[in-house]
Structures are given as structure tokens and as C-alpha cells.
């Protein structure tokens, strides 16, 4: 591994912010990163692990070491009559891996199609879409501590998964580089099409048979219609998490805003779509300087040109304030703001 100095991250973050890393290196193997740690290559330097750069917003240059995780490989580690277990390198592209599993006839990831990023980022965020979360198929991950070089295995319980949360976004934030993730996939399908517009989209396309491929195609169609392609317009995907509020509060809001959608959760909580709240505050498609919200989905903040991360952050704060003022609900960023 070679440390490069003062490297541009413009092409390595999907929002397209023009910032630099003080130091930059690509990680391609477990042995490589361990050797660098043992030789104190990162000593006295803060570090940031970068995957696909799709869920991160840089507001300044990063005065430290940016490690681009490019550890690849997909290995079948176990198989039973009902399941297959895959250990996947953290640098593998998430969507390409999903399509790979579908082509092999393995089921469980189809609802998570077209989510940008890499395998290593998936457990940090506990990515989820259309009624499925990573934790539903997660078995374990292997990671290296960036200070000691210790290799540690984390099981599902160790990760403290929550809604777009894990121990790696909280207590252990920035302390580990994930090497690989092991997933359990189904050989006997257990489809989930109850959430969102999956069934409606399949029907509109003349598709009536349930299969991982057909569900994946529907999810891809839905996401493509709502979310901008970062190759064409810079964005970090969904900028905010859907808030979870007490059901009692939701019922009071429904008396005032009859069309407010809500999805019942456990413990008398209800999830409310943040995109709906933001749209009702008049933000959908609005442009403020070099940034704005996407014309088809208010949940996404986009770069209309040469936007800075600070501009996006300031817009996000204004959106948060207006949602709180109108609905009394605090929405929190899903994006990692650096």
C-alpha cells in the first residue's frame, strides 16, 4: 500500500464535492491493511474508510488518511438444503452482488436492488428498502481495528442493528475497517412484496409471477423513477431517515393532516415518510443556489453544479427546521456528514 498526498476526492463521492484528502490509499487485502497498521503508517493521523462514496457529504477537505476499501471476492462458505452462506469482500459493489446472487437462484436481497455503495458500508448503515433490511440476511462480518491491527468477528447481536444504525455508526465509529461480510440467502424463496409499490409496478409491467428477478426488476424501476442517477446529477441518495414517532402523536397529526401516511411499528411507534413531510413543507424540486431537492423525490438533496458540502448541509438544516415547525417532528440525516 502506498500513501499518496493531497488527493482529490471529487470523483470518489457521489455528491460531487470538490475536496481533497491529506493522504489517500487503496486497500485491496486484509494482509495489506494489517501490515500498514503494524508499521504505524497511520500513526497520529485520523482515518476515514471510503466505500462507494454514496452516503457521505464532505463539508471540508479531510486532513487525514482516506482509505478506499477495494477488498474483493465472493466465496460460498456453507450450504444446506434451505440456505447458502456467502462471505463477500467489503469492496464489492452492492448492486452487482445482488444481481449475482439472483442469477444463481438465491433469494433474499432482491428488495435491496439498486442501492448504491459497497458491501462494507451495508452493515454500518444497516441498509434497507421495501420492507427488508441488511440485518434480515446478515450472519457476521470480519473487521480490522485501525489502531491495534486486531482482526475481530462481529455477529448480528454484536452489531447493535437498528433503523439505519449499527455499532459502527455510534460507539465504534471510525475505529474499524470492514474486511468481509457473511450473508445467509434462501434457496427456498420467502418473498416480501407487501411494502411500497412493488406489486403495483409488477402488474403495470404485465408481470404476475413472483420471483427474485421480477421483484428486483420492479424495485429497480421504482428507484430509477424516484431517485436521480449520481452519474448525471450529484446526490447522496436519501438524505434523511424516516422519523419514528409515538402512535399517539401520529393520530393527533392525522386529525390535522388527514393524508399523512404512517406505517405501524412495534412499541406503539409509527414510521412517517420523511419525503412526504418535506414535500408538504414546499421543498420538493426547490433550488437554493447550487443545491436543491430532487424534482421527483423531496428526500434527496442534489448538486446542481459546483455545490459545496456546506451548502448542502445548510439546506438540510433549513429543511429540518421547517418540518419541525409545521409538524413538530425532528428528521435526522441518514447521510454521514464529514
Q: Which active-site residues does the annotation give?
A: 164, 238, 334
Per DSSP, what are the bridge partners of residue 93? 118
Measured between alpha carbons, how far is 17 from 303 in angstroms, rounded to an integer?
8
Backbone angles phi, psi at 271, to 5 degrees: -90, 130
Of 177, 170, 139, the residue nearest 156 (C-alpha): 139
Find all residues with CB under 8 Å of 286, minimum gap 6, and list them: 292, 293
User: Could you tell me if 54 and 14 are in contact, meaning their C-beta atoms sit under 8 angstroms apart?
Assistant: yes
Three-state DSSP class for residue 44: coil
Q: For residue 138, what is the enclosing H or E element?
A: strand 138-145
d(CA 140, CA 155): 4
Sheet with 291-294, side-by-side order of all strands: 234-238, 297-303, 291-294, 287-288
Q: Give 318-323's long-range contacts (Cβ < 8 A, gap of 24+).
A: 318/288, 319/240, 319/278, 319/281, 319/283, 319/293, 320/240, 322/281, 322/282, 322/283, 323/274, 323/277, 323/278, 323/281
The number of angstroms, rounded, from the C-alpha of 303 to the middle of its chain's C-alpha atoms is 18
Cα-atom radius of gyration of the chain, to the nearest Å? 20
Amino acid at each position: 500500500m502506498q500513501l499518496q498526498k493531497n488527493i482529490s476526492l471529487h470523483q470518489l463521492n457521489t455528491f460531487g464535492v470538490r475536496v481533497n484528502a491529506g493522504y489517500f490509499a487503496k486497500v485491496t487485502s486484509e494482509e495489506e491493511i494489517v501490515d500498514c497498521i503494524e508499521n504505524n503508517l497511520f500513526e497520529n493521523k485520523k482515518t476515514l474508510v471510503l466505500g462507494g462514496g454514496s452516503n457521505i457529504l464532505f463539508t471540508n477537505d479531510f486532513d487525514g488518511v482516506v482509505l478506499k476499501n477495494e477488498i474483493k471476492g465472493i466465496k460460498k462458505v456453507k450450504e444446506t438444503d434451505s440456505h447458502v452462506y456467502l462471505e463477500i469482500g467489503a469492496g464489492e459493489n452492492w448492486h452487482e452482488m445482488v444481481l449475482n446472487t439472483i442469477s444463481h437462484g438465491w433469494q433474499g436481497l432482491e428488495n435491496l436492488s439498486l442501492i448504491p455503495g459497497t458491501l462494507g458500508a451495508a452493515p454500518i448503515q444497516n441498509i434497507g428498502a421495501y420492507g427488508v433490511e441488511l440485518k434480515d440476511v446478515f450472519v457476521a462480518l470480519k473487521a480490522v481495528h485501525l489502531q491495534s491491527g486486531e482482526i475481530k468477528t462481529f455477529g448480528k447481536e454484536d452489531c447493535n442493528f437498528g433503523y439505519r444504525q449499527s455499532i459502527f455508526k455510534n460507539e465504534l465509529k471510525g475505529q474499524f475497517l470492514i474486511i468481509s461480510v457473511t450473508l445467509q440467502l434462501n434457496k427456498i424463496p420467502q418473498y416480501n412484496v407487501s411494502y411500497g409499490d412493488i406489486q403495483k409496478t409488477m402488474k403495470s409491467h404485465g408481470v404476475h409471477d413472483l420471483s427474485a428477478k421480477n421483484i428486483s426488476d420492479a424495485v429497480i424501476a421504482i428507484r430509477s423513477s424516484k431517485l436521480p442517477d449520481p452519474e448525471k446529477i450529484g446526490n447522496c441518495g436519501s438524505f434523511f431517515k424516516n422519523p419514528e414517532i409515538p402512535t399517539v402523536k401520529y393520530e393527533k397529526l392525522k386529525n390535522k393532516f388527514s393524508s399523512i401516511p404512517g406505517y405501524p411499528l412495534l412499541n406503539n411507534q409509527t414510521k412517517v415518510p420523511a419525503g412526504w413531510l418535506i414535500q408538504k413543507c414546499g421543498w420538493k424540486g426547490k433550488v437554493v443556489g447550487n443545491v436543491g431537492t430532487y424534482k421527483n423525490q423531496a428526500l434527496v438533496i442534489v448538486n446542481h453544479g459546483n455545490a459545496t458540502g456546506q451548502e448542502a448541509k445548510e439546506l438540510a438544516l433549513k429543511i429540518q427546521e421547517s418540518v419541525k415547525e409545521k409538524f413538530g417532528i425532528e428528521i435526522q440525516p441518514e447521510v454521514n456528514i464529514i
